[in-house]
Chains A and B, each alone.
Chain A
Amino acid sequence: MELSLATRAVAEHQVLEVGGEVDVYTAPRLRERLNELIDGGARSIVVDLNRVDFLDSTGLGVLVGAHRRLRPLGGRCALACDKEPLLKIFRITALDQVFPLYPSVEAATDPSGPAA
Chain B
Amino acid sequence: MSTVRLAFSPAPVHVRTARLVGVAVARRAGVAEELLDEVRLAIGEACTRAVALHRQYGLPDLVQMEMSDDQSYTVRVIDRAPIEAGLGLTALPPDELANESLTDEALTVGVGFALLAGFVDDLQVRPVEVGIGTEVRMVWPVAK
Contact = CB atoms under 8 A, between A and B. Distances in A.
Interface of A: 21, 23-25, 54, 56-58, 60-61, 64-65, 67-68, 71-72, 85, 89, 92-95, 97-98
Contact of B12 (A24, A72, A85): A24
Contacts of B52: 24
Interface residues of B, number: 28
A93 B118 contact: yes
Given A24-B12, A98-B98, A64 B107 contact: yes
Contacts of B27: none
A72 B98 CA distance: 12
A20 to B, nearest CB: 11
Nearest to B112: A57
Interface in B35-52: 37, 40-41, 44-45, 48, 51-52
What's the dominant secondary structure at chain A's contact region? helix
B48 A64 contact: no
What does DSSP make chain B's interface, helix, strand, loop or mixed?
helix
B121 interface: no
Interface of B: 12-13, 15-16, 19, 37, 40-41, 44-45, 48, 51-52, 93-94, 97-98, 100, 104, 107-109, 111-112, 114-115, 118-119
A93 B51 contact: no
Contact of A98 (B19, B51, B97): B97
A61 B112 CA distance: 9
A94 B114 CA distance: 9
Interface centre among A58, A72, A98 (most CB of B within 10 A): A58
A60 B37 CA distance: 17
Nearest to A56: B44
Nearest to B15: A24
30 contacts: A21-B16, A23-B44, A24-B15, A24-B48, A24-B52, A25-B12, A25-B15, A54-B41, A56-B41, A56-B44, A56-B112, A57-B114, A57-B115, A58-B48, A61-B107, A61-B108, A61-B111, A64-B97, A64-B111, A68-B100, A71-B98, A85-B37, A92-B114, A93-B97, A93-B111, A94-B93, A94-B94, A94-B114, A95-B94, A98-B98
